[in-house]
């Protein structure tokens, strides 16, 4: 990223410490569409603020994303930073605002980043709507990358195997899958869904991979969890809509919060 982006993340981290009263954070969680209620189960709220209270953050532009940041103390005493919403590439602000939250968290001391999202399921024959799936790898079809210049980052293991195993200690039923990211905001066509299945994708969405790359650039371990909110276009013959995504998130928020809370306490 540019030097300006580094400076902005550092400035946001300083403001974050001042506004929350927390000197350093251990883990950051980015909550996807419909996941906001799950944050309540993660720990005791120390402080909550609007993202626009910090340098470099834009107000939320998507339903289901509240644009709040919550500082939380978990049951195990860890300090967690919860982003209740995110900036997406399709909003047209460029790639750096998309990853600014992750970079701010790392500048504030975070060494573990948990990225959640709402995703279309590419394998309805084995996936149920409302099922959480661990991200084992990704395919970046956004056409962008948060890293500029000759900075070469190894992505052999973007999503930590250790953290996935830890999550399965909490819930042995958790499946794994490859997440495919498109730029959006349009949902995929049935032909694109067929292509993604052929490429080896299991989940599809419009977020997460750029944040994961930025987290790895910053040296953080990454855990990715997708909530399957609908089958991909053309797989079951039903049209796609954002309200359906949010409704599934609301219906499963309690389970997701318990899962995330237990995982964070094991870190």
Residue 140 annotated to the active site:
no
Residue 118 annotated to the active site:
yes
Residue 105 token pair: 């968290």
The one catalytic residue in 80, 88, 100, 211 is 88
The one catalytic residue in 118, 167, 181, 212 is 118
CB 220 within 8 A of CB 81: no
The one catalytic residue in 206, 212, 214, 233 is 206
- CA distance linking residue 183 with residue 144, whole number of Å: 9
Residue 207 annotated to the active site:
yes
Residue 6 annotated to the active site:
no
The one catalytic residue in 12, 28, 33, 215 is 33
Residue 91 annotated to the active site:
yes
The one catalytic residue in 140, 160, 207, 226 is 207
The one catalytic residue in 230, 233, 253, 256 is 230
Residue 179 annotated to the active site:
no
The one catalytic residue in 175, 195, 242, 247 is 242
- CA distance linking residue 18 with residue 53, whole number of Å: 11
CA of 178: how far to CAs of 121, 187, 213, 248, in Å?
10, 18, 15, 21
The DSSP line for 167-182 is HHHH-TT-EEEEEEEE
Residue 88 annotated to the active site:
yes
The one catalytic residue in 28, 31, 65, 160 is 65
Residue 38 token pair: 């799950």
Residue 31 annotated to the active site:
no
The one catalytic residue in 90, 111, 131, 195 is 90
CA Rg value for the chain: 17
The one catalytic residue in 11, 48, 91, 247 is 91
State the catalytic residues: 33, 65, 88, 90-91, 118, 206-207, 230, 242
């Amino acid at each position: 990223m540019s030097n300006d982006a580094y400076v902005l993340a550092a400035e946001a981290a300083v403001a974050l410490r001042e506004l929350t009263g927390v000197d350093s954070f251990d883990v950051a969680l980015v909550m996807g569409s419909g996941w906001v209620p799950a944050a309540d189960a993660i720990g005791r709220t120390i402080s909550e603020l609007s993202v626009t209270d910090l340098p470099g953050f834009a107000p939320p532009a998507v339903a289901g994303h509240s644009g709040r940041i919550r500082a939380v103390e978990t049951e195990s005493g860890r300090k967690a930073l919860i982003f209740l919403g995110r900036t997406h590439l399709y909003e047209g602000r460029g790639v750096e605002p998309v990853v600014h939250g992750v970079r701010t968290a790392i500048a504030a001391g975070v060494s573990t980043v948990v990225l959640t999202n709402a995703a279309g399921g590419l394998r309805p024959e084995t996936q149920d709507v409302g099922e959480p799936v661990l991200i084992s790898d990704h395919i970046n079809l956004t056409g962008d990358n948060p890293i500029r210049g000759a900075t070469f980052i190894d992505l052999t293991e973007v999503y930590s195997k250790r953290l996935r195993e830890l999550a399965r200690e909490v819930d042995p039923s958790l499946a794994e899958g490859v997440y495919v990211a498109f730029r959006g905001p349009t949902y995929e066509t049935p032909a694109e869904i067929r292509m993604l299945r052929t490429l080896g994708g299991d989940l599809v969405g419009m977020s997460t991979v750029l944040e994961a790359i930025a987290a790895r650039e910053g040296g953080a371990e990454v855990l990715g969890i997708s909530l399957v909110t609908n089958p991909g276009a053309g797989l079951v013959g039903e049209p796609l809509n954002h309200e359906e995504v949010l409704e599934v998130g609301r219906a499963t928020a309690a389970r997701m919060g318990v899962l995330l809370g237990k995982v964070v306490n094991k870190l």
